[in-house]
Chains A and B, each alone.
Chain A
């Protein structure tokens, strides 16, 4: 089945140790999103790609970066994780059209020790 896959499901990293989260899709969607969701809060958009165009939210910390080497893959890099970066990270994809829904992966839960 076509889908959005996030690896790993659970990630534990140490304070200040770089970590990379990955997202892949078989839907051939041209838009990919990264959201951060903390406990009991709504998902917060970090950045998204529309094809190769990268769109960074104004309030996304510099600590967070992203790469999209091709249509299928997108990575979230956290250069120096702090305790406040512990959260669920959600990847979503979509076609760039009004009738195209967001498709989400199962998320990666990041713990910072």
Chain B
């Protein structure tokens, strides 16, 4: 059974700091890994998707990396802003035709002005 863990569970940083969020998974047989953000009481917004054959993806101030063999992904946020405050979730899609997607435990980020 796939287990997805995110560390840290919560993070508070001053505005302008660069930060790294971590996601680890136990079964490396995956199709892709997707990062989301979720604002309180809202739905999920997709940030980045990395296919299993890729090492990293970038979008604006966000950079996500994937090391499939070691079961790890990181989300790097450059020059953090108060508007980045949200919960960040990673989700892993299982390979093998089953299409199951398992979410990580989430990291709650607060960027202090």
Contact = CB atoms under 8 A, between A and B. Distances in A.
B44 A104 contact: yes
B32 A48 contact: no
Interface residues of B, number: 25
A96 B100 contact: no
B31 interface: yes
B109 interface: no
A45 B98 contact: no
B13 interface: no
A105 to B, nearest CB: 7
29 contacts: A31-B99, A35-B103, A42-B89, A42-B104, A42-B105, A43-B89, A45-B100, A45-B101, A48-B101, A50-B97, A50-B98, A55-B98, A90-B43, A90-B44, A94-B93, A94-B99, A98-B31, A98-B32, A98-B51, A98-B52, A98-B95, A99-B32, A99-B51, A100-B32, A102-B34, A102-B44, A102-B101, A103-B46, A106-B43
